[in-house]
Amino acid sequence: MSEPNGTMFYKVSYVVLGGEHTGAIINVDQRPEIGDEVKFDDNIFEIVEVMELMPPVGNFAFLHATCKFLHAASA
């Protein structure tokens, strides 16, 4: 479900495989997809799984994304 103009907002809980890196909770305006790369904590991660934590409410959705470390971000 979304607003008539199609704008959705997502709160995404990122969890990193292996436990060596801390995850993050980030507000984004585009739904993350498997294979996407995301940057947080000065590192680049690849998303390997996306799950809806609860049904969307209006134009808001709360998601969980599992990701794996790829490399440190370039300066």
Over residues 27-62, the pLDDT tens digits come to 999 999 999 999 999 999 999 999 999 899 999 999
Q: Are 49 and 65 in contact (CB under 8 A)?
A: yes
Question: If 0-12 CB within 10 Å is exposed, 13-18 middle and 19+ buried, where does residue 28 land?
Answer: middle
Q: Where are the domains of the chain?
A: 9-72
- The answer, yes or no, to whether residue 19 has pLDDT greater than 80, is yes
Dist CA 25 CA 35 (whole Å): 18
What pTM, to 2 d.p., does this model score? Answer: 0.85
